[in-house]
Structure 1
């Protein structure tokens, strides 16, 4: 941190020089000027405006110290004052205190007292600068979180460096009755109610975690995104928070705890999965039609959902066959709603094991055919086809979930290492959910996907530096890093050399 910038204003030459020598000897202080009266100091400050502490005598010719303080404050000076005086006069003390000076020191000056006061002012400055730096960093972090795309290239992960390392938990707080409340309240009243949610949310979060451990943002889709840096599981707190907000405001909020992230570069995939989780939380149609469809149908649907969750596909086929026998053609309306609800619940159960894009595609397909005007037989056939396609996806996941998935992922990475590949693309190649795949990859290789990809890219860059005369910028582009400064920084971090230095030593 920069030293404390001190200005001395003292009309007695001997005292002024003594103060200058003494303060210059303090490791945290720098003298930026020493002046014989207030007018000289005021004129100089107006030119440079750099002082952070002004040490001024009171009794001086042309302009005394108290007048200098008033003039400087009117001119916009916001630093501290230390007032010196040889007169132990209560009137001077009163006026100095009214001007909110940092301290009032009597001559002859107690050097230890002055030294201690300057140290305190330096520490105050350090606290303010640290707080400002934390605020700036928090603002930058939130800007990054709000702007994150659904997929990030594995060469574009430098944004994670502004966050602390460790374990992260995600959550989404959804306002369930947002549009209804907005429609029945005037805009001013609605904004006040929404502000109350934000105010309570800020209070509860700050009571639970430090400002450097929690990030939250309003995503304009009737929900708040939460990211918590902690080794503990905050799921219970998320539920309690949703309950408090629901109790104290007009809105009903639900918490959808997301995933545990040991590598923050997985956050885009986790956030996309959270959005999907929200889509897969319907109001169950089963309760509304339980009388009409009978106990047998409910039992079959429970078997169907359980079979999907366990990947027991013989039972899935059996349950579909039983549905054909049990469902009556005259129950078309309730059947369409029931199939849609059941299908969404089945998707929810397997969503954490399937690629997000496939879940979204199947959800859209389910919504399209259950909203059409179909005969009972057409509806049953459509649901059966949809269910078997979903079973096929689950079956591929089950078949691919072995150690060969790691080798196939590595082969894909080697083939595409010079491209802007993403974790989602690598996971989709082995037909796994991104976060599940990353945990699986790390378990079998003892390194993260990002570490493996980075190592492969840098090995390729080293070979190019050794064997070609290509410019460093061209090599950076050719191995997937379009931010050349980041490439150089990363290369030096892993090899101990800047790229140009590495070339000189290895040719």
Structure 2
């Protein structure tokens, strides 16, 4: 048990000093944290300076602010404490009001030393009991928090491992606080080369050490900023970190700046203590946690830039812009010229001109003798194409196409194969852009129709966004702005409405009903159905059957 923090308030100096000596004489557990001559002075110190107090001993009649007013104002601030009132007035009105404000004792002046010590002993027992109850409550709350956190980590881990998570399985997102999130991917560069040289136990030790560095630095840099976090393992020395900003009024740039500063220090700390370099990717802010799979894919794509830029860097979406603006002095000017012609042809969606510009680009490649310059030229072309794609309305930061380009450059055995692969890749982008132009119907109407026709299938945000040719993040924001509902809520409502129809009109088993509306886990379906309707599927069916019988009799 800690000390009993006591505040004494009395306008008579001699009485203040006397009470202070009496309190301190009662044992080391008593701590007088403040002695004041007026209620106003005490109020300001208690509210603005002290973290907490256990006991307030105050006079009633004082200038500026009396003792009863002091107690009332402190109670209005939800400060939890015990009160002993000392007064020279044996007036029932004061006693009655003091009790009404929660005072546990009313002591008349002059103070009887022996009686006062007995009263302090009784107060001590009450404070001890209160502290024990508070500690028990804290323990229960801490265990509940740890259990909830463990479940949330399990959900997040499953989501980042599973490539095709149906939107229905993201209902758990409602367990998280509402606000602004950022996803971060932390990957040690040397792990695969080092892994062959060390034992499994040493790898576990490295993992534990890196995890501790991440957590300790969060405690130092972010905990005072009211930023919550969830940290989970991806694979050996690779981590996912989800950060949540609890301060809704803060500017977006402030949250972003805090994360950037933290990640820079993290990269430096890992290199200092572990002698490893680290590649880190982080994306834009988002509020809808159903976008986590999309954010995951973005970060994995961003880390592919490590192939071009090397490791030990922090990658974010602006990386594409930064790289596309870089020019390598060893590349001939003709490479830049035909690259820009190809990019412009893509923007005009002119397939013939794309093929013509690419032909001239690769004609220049055949003149180059340095494999390094050829590689840089191809990378520059791909990055400029990706940037132009990102600038196209409706796509936003869809950088997953970078993986497609990198796969082409890896698999090509010679320049001719590379030429054909790059040509097919760019022409596929032209066709996708044309499809957007030819699609005149409302994307929300299209998305709803697709959902209604595919309730029993695996539905993901990516599939929906791809169907209407929109970036997943933009699609979710646009859907909510137009409908007032999240994609997750809309899909759930449609599936449960269809489930009700099946329960009312068919004799299908609950398992079959769940499967027909897209839920492979019957227990999960039943739990979700009850959560939304306050009835289990069987109760709903029975209630509807009884209602139908009554109607038939009528």
TM score, norm. by length of structure 2:
0.60
Structure 1 residue matching 2:428: 3-state secondary structure:
helix
Taking the TM superposition and a 5 Å limit, the aligned residue runs for 1:32-431 are: 113-148=124-159, 149-178=162-191, 197-207=210-220, 208-209=222-223, 213-220=228-235, 222-230=237-245, 231=248, 232=252, 234-248=255-269, 249=272, 250-283=275-308, 290-301=328-339, 304=342, 311-314=347-350, 319-320=357-358, 322-323=360-361, 326-331=364-369, 333-334=371-372, 336-346=374-384, 348-349=386-387, 350=389, 353=396, 360-369=403-412, 372-374=413-415, 379-397=418-436, 399-400=438-439, 404-431=442-469
**Corresponding position of 1:438:** 476
Matched, 1:453 2:491: yes
Q: CA separation in 2, counterparts of 1:498 and 1:189?
A: 50
RMSD: 4.0
Q: CA separation in 1, counterparts of 2:511 and 2:277?
A: 53
Deviations 1:109-136 (A, max 9, x none): 9665434322221111111121122122
Deviations 1:316-349 (A, max 9, x none): 5675355256445343734641354135424653
Give the aligned length. 395
**Corresponding position of 1:486:** 524
Q: CA separation in 1, counterparts of 2:171 and 2:500?
A: 21
Distance 1:438 1:298, change over 3 A: same
Contact kept, 8 Å, 2:279 with 2:306, in 1: the verdict is: no
Q: CA separation in 1, counterparts of 2:400 and 2:454?
A: 20
Contact kept, 8 Å, 1:354 with 1:397, in 2: the verdict is: no
Q: CA separation in 2, counterparts of 1:284 and 1:181?
A: 21
TM score, norm. by length of structure 1:
0.65
Q: CA separation in 2, counterparts of 1:452 and 1:288?
A: 44
Structure 1 residue matching 2:283: 3-state secondary structure:
strand
Structure 2 residue matching 1:283: 3-state secondary structure:
helix
Deviations 1:105-162 (A, max 9, x none): x999966543432222111111112112212222222222222212211222233243
Q: CA separation in 1, counterparts of 2:173 and 2:189?
A: 32
Q: CA separation in 2, counterparts of 1:225 and 1:317?
A: 41
Q: CA separation in 1, counterparts of 2:241 and 2:137?
A: 30
Q: CA separation in 2, counterparts of 1:416 and 1:288?
A: 45
Contact kept, 8 Å, 1:238 with 1:255, in 2: the verdict is: no
**Corresponding position of 2:10:** none
Distance 1:458 1:185, change over 3 A: closer
Q: CA separation in 2, counterparts of 1:175 and 1:473?
A: 44
Structure 1 range deviating more: 256-265 or 335-344:
335-344
Structure 2 residue matching 1:364: 3-state secondary structure:
helix
Contact kept, 8 Å, 2:396 with 2:474, in 1: the verdict is: yes
Structure 1 range deviating more: 178-187 or 166-175:
178-187
Contact kept, 8 Å, 2:342 with 2:354, in 1: the verdict is: yes
**Corresponding position of 1:468:** 506
Displacement after TM superposition at 1:447 (Å): 1.8
